[in-house]
Structure formats: structure tokens, C-alpha cells
Chains A and B, each alone.
Chain A
Amino acid sequence: MIRGWSEVESFVTIHDRIVSRLPRVPGQGTEEAALKLLALRKSGADPNTLIRMQHPSGGWPGFLGIGPPSAFHTGLALVALRPFQTPSVQPVAERAFGWLSVLDGLESHWLWRWKFRVFDKQVQFDPMKSGWPWVEGTVSWVAPTALSILAFRSWRHESDRVRTAVDMLLDRACPRGGWNAGNSVAFGFELSPHPDFTAMALLSLRGLTQADLPLVRTSLDYLAKRLEDSQSMYSLAWAVMALSAYSHGGARRLRQELEKAVTTQPAIGSTRVLALAALALEDPPYIFQEVIP
């Protein structure tokens, strides 16, 4: 697609402005460290900060030394470390994949599967299809499953779990497209999709399902429509990346909205949001499936 020079210049300028600001913005959590590392991966970023946050079990918790390791943070950390080919990264990744491989949603256990089939029918999903929970001891949810799939795919790490996790995401999509946090129907009501979870699911499914699958199409259309007047940089950034991954026409409009939000909300100090905006405003936008040299 050919764009005017002023448009290209404008994107580059805003992206560069964020990237130059990012190193100075403080951030304590794993999500912030990982997104910052990704956003600065071409600017000499050091992966060791993120590596030091790894839990001895192999997973990453939300904050260094705080709380249980989480599949969402572990998947994101693995994606963020992928561009770095230093010798220290490989064993760190192996430990992380080891941890992810044994962590499963509770519904994968026969006892809970039986409970969900016989008694617990208020929330409709197929317990035979499981992905990753946020933390150990809970059922599978969309965001940690999507990020874990992205981690396995970006490292080309073979696992049967990916196929089951893809099935789980397809099973739990909202009836009219998009993804809620984890379920589609609860207590007889259709749940509404959320932009960020929808974008994460779509990014993780790219290339694993048919791009013209009605679910993919309606989910992309939902994203483009849902955020067309939004000011939220966080959701806009996720949506721009997902729409761009499928070359959806709505990507350009949302990218303009994101650009506007970045320039009109200079006070936004969240590393997490700034790093996501930087990734979405790359040219072309980052889509979590970079070809590793």
C-alpha cells in the first residue's frame, strides 16, 4: 500500500518519539519489562532485566519475586526474548517452556472435566479443550492461552498443547465474534467480547486457522468497529497489531486514532501502554510473529 510521505513521516516521528522516551519511563512489572524489551529490540535493549525476573520454576510472575508465576507473563517474556540470540537466553527459554508444558487449565483433569460436564453447566464450554490458566490452580483463559501459543510459535517449539489450545480458543469465542476473558455464554447470557482479548486471540490464531473463517472475519470487524472512536491507547495498540496481521482495512483508521491518542495524551506514563503503542506504530506494525534472522 502506497502512502503519502507526510503520513509515513508522521508515523515514524511519533514512533521514534515514544521509543526515545521509553528507556526513561519506569516500569516494575514483567509485562512492562517484556513489552519495553520488544519495543526497543532494535535499539540495543538488554534482555537481562527480564531474565532476572524469571522465577526459579521457569515461569515469570507479574512482578519480580511476587506472587505465583503466570502463563500470560511467561508467554509474553518468551516472545520478548526471542529476538535476542545471546547464550544466556536459550537455557532461560528452555526452563520456561518446561514450566509452560506442565501447566494446564484445571478442566484438563478428569475430575474437573467430569464436574463441568455433569454439574457445573452454567458456563458453557467444552472442558475437553484446554489451554493455559493465568496461574496454577485455575481453568484456562483467553489471554494466557493466546500469549502461550505465541511463545511456542515464535520459538518454533513443537508441542501438542498448541493444537488443543487453538481448539480451546475457537470453542470459547463469543457467539457473534470476538473473545471475552474466557467464556462465551454464562448463566444463559452471551458475554460481550473485549478488544484486547480479541486481538490477542486473533494474533495467536493467525496462520493456524483459515483467515476467511467467519469467526475470524467477524472478530476483525468487531475490533475495527468497537474502537473507531476510542481514545484508549492500550486497546487501540492491540487492535492495530491484530488488524494489521490480517491486512484488515480497519487497521489504518485505528492507527490514526492511536496516533491521535499518543499526541493528545502526553501525560500517559505507563510503560506498558507506551511500549504497546510503539509496537503498533512500527512500520509495518509488529504482529508477534517476526521472522527471526
Chain B
Amino acid sequence: MNRRSLLSGGLLAATAGLAVHQSLPYRMPIRRQRRSRVAVLRCDRYEAVADVVMNGLRLLAPAVHGKRVLLKPNLVEYSVAAPINTNPALIAAVVESLYRLGAASVIIGEGPGHVRDTDLLLFESGLQSQLDAVGRCRFVDLNFEPVSRIVPHTGLTHFDEIWLPNPVLSADVVISMPKIKTHHWAGVTLSLKNLFGVVPGSIYGWPKNLLHWQGIDNSIVELAAAIPIHFVIADGIEAMEGNGPLNGSVKRLGCIVFSDDPVAADATCCRLMGIDPNRVRHLQMASPLGNLDSSRIDQRGESIERMKQQFALLPEFVHLRG
């Protein structure tokens, strides 16, 4: 057997193995509600977020009274030019509103995927000054918090165990607060992809490259199956199109999306971006966790048709267009 035939044989075996693995049924917990609720509220500028956030939370009334709430924003890297992170003004407004609705405690947790110096990111992004102004809300760096072991059950990844930060696992209510963005590997990065930030860098490194090697879609869904997201508040005031999540351009979508179902939230965000959520692989895979189908979503606030914009997509993702 010569080198070429050995190489061909190896590749064939690897491809066959991958095909078999991808075709195996995976085991997802069923969390889909009969109907899900989503509100799309118009908001053109961050100076006006306080009232919009309060209206959105009153509209969908998440059960936060007396609860320990963890907000998981999307805080990746700071750039003067690109809207990479969930805006600090929106995060601060959510903290204030949750306390007004009777939350026992609100903490903000994030483990930036590229940056080890979270203090620097907090200072430069402006989140630290917002939190100082709000008071009574601390930030926990999920990259360095104590962790507990989770045994994944979906079979989507080869992980025997995943270590996740205790503040996430012990919260009564987890609110995912993504920035609405395109993503050069996953198509979109919304409330489910936002969960990459809970994986602790002190165990898996910066970036959390182990997740990429398990398949980005598989990892997103594995994490979503392990960590229930109870509510979503997505920052679409200034979203990102094109080469997201870091190098895309500003897209002024002019709205905030609220939902009690992360899959419904992400599906709605996709529709607002001119993307068919059924064509986004990780959303399709995560459908047992929520409602992808618009007929099962009670839509409040603005209509999608009125707010929808065509987001620029990288050539490899044009097939996602709705």
C-alpha cells in the first residue's frame, strides 16, 4: 500500500466516521412550551432604554420576585468602532428594572472568550462605571469562579463532563442578554451562542477552543441543554452585520427583543435580521428546547415585518436568508 492510498483510505474512514456520528440521534431534554412569548420593542438610542426595558419586563412579567437573578451579557472584546458587546446602558437598565420588580439579588456574570483581563474590559467598555452608578450589583468573572461538574447527556459532543461556574448553576433565574450579531462560524450569535461565555477559561483556556473542536453548533446546543435560560433580553438597538462577531459593521435595528424562550427569541432575532431560523443549524438542533415555529410564538410589540432589515452576510452564510 503506497502513501497515497493510505491517505485516501484514512480520509474515507474519517469522513465515514464523521457522517455516522452526525447521523446518530442525539438526546435533548424537551423544554418546549406549548406557546412562547416574545416582545419586540422599538428603541432607537441607548439613552432611552430605561423605559423600554421596564415596559418589556412588565409585558412578559418574568418570575423574578424574590429570586437570585444572573444576567449573562455578551462581553467579548472592546472596540471603539464595532458594537461587539451588549451595551452597558442596557445592562444597567435591566438591573434597575429587575430590582424594581422585586428580584432578591442581581449579579452580572460573563467569562470573556478572548480576554483574560476582564477588569480592563469592564473599564474600557464602560460597564464598570455603569455598575458603579447602579450600585448593589456585582460582576462575577465566570472565567475564574468556583465550578461544579455537569455530565452532558445529549451525545452531541465527546465531553464526559463539563465544569461550569457555580454562580450560573446556583442562580434561580438566568437571563441571557446577547448582542444581535452575525457570526462567521455559527451564522448568528444570539441567546444560545451567548452561553459560550459561561465556560470557564481557567479550565479550558482562552479562547474556549475545545468547544470549537467539538463542533460549534454541537457545543452551543450541548451547553443550552445543560443550562436552562429562563429569559432573554437581546440588544438590537445597534446590532452587527457582516463579519461578526468582532469585525462586522453596525446595523441599526432599533429594537430590544424580550422573550421567555431562548429558541423563540433567537428565531425572532433571525427573522428581524432577514434570516430563516430553520436554516441556522444550531437553532434547528435546539428546537426541543423551545419554539422555532412562528405559529407557536405570541408576538407582542412591533411586528417583525415592520422592524425587519436585511443583514449583510458572509458569502458562506447567504443560504441562511429568509
**Which residues of A pack against B, CB within 8 Å?**
28-29, 31, 61-63, 66-68, 70, 72, 106, 111, 122, 133-135, 137-139, 141, 143-144, 180-182, 187-189, 192, 194-197, 230-235, 270, 272-273
What are 17 A-to-B residue pairs whose CB atoms are below 8 Å? A67-B204, A135-B204, A135-B210, A138-B210, A138-B212, A143-B206, A182-B207, A187-B247, A189-B246, A192-B79, A194-B114, A194-B116, A196-B117, A231-B123, A234-B119, A235-B120, A273-B119
Are B184 and A134 in contact, with the CB atoms below 8 A?
A: no
Q: Is the CB of A28 within 8 A of B146?
A: yes
B112-124 CB mask vs A (1 if < 8 Å, else 0) is 0011110110010
Of B79, B120, B213, the contact of A106 (CB 8 Å cutoff): B213
Residues on A with beta carbons closer than 8 Å to the beta carbon of B314? 187
A67–B205 contact, CB under 8 A? no
Contact A29 B144 (CB under 8 A): yes
Q: Is the CB of B243 within 8 A of A187?
A: yes
For residue B10, CB closer than 8 A to chain A, the reply is yes
Q: Does B294 contact A (CB under 8 A)?
A: no
B209 touches A (CB below 8 Å):
yes
List of A residues within 8 angstroms of B116 by Cβ:
143, 194, 196-197, 234
Say how far B157's CB is from chain A's closest CB, in angstroms.
11
- Give, as a whole number of angstroms, the nearest-CB distance from B8 to chain A: 12
- Cα A127 to Cα B123 in complex, Å, equals 36
Q: Is B55 an interface residue (CB 8 A)?
A: no
Contact of B120 among A31, A122, A197, A234 (CB under 8 A): A234
Of the candidates B123, B207, B246, which one forms a contact with A232 in the assembled complex, judged by CB atoms under 8 Å apart? B123
CA distance A270 to B200 in the complex (A): 16
Cβ-defined contact, A181 with B146, below 8 A: no
Q: How far apart are A157's CB and chain B's nearest CB, in angstroms?
A: 23
- B209 near A138 (CB under 8 angstroms)? yes
Question: Is B147 positioned at the interface, with any CB of A under 8 Å from its CB?
Answer: yes
Question: Contact check: which of B77, B115, B200 meets A62 at CB < 8 Å?
Answer: B200
Q: Do A141 and B202 have beta carbons less than 8 Å apart?
A: no
Determine if B163 is an interface residue (Cβ-Cβ < 8 Å): yes
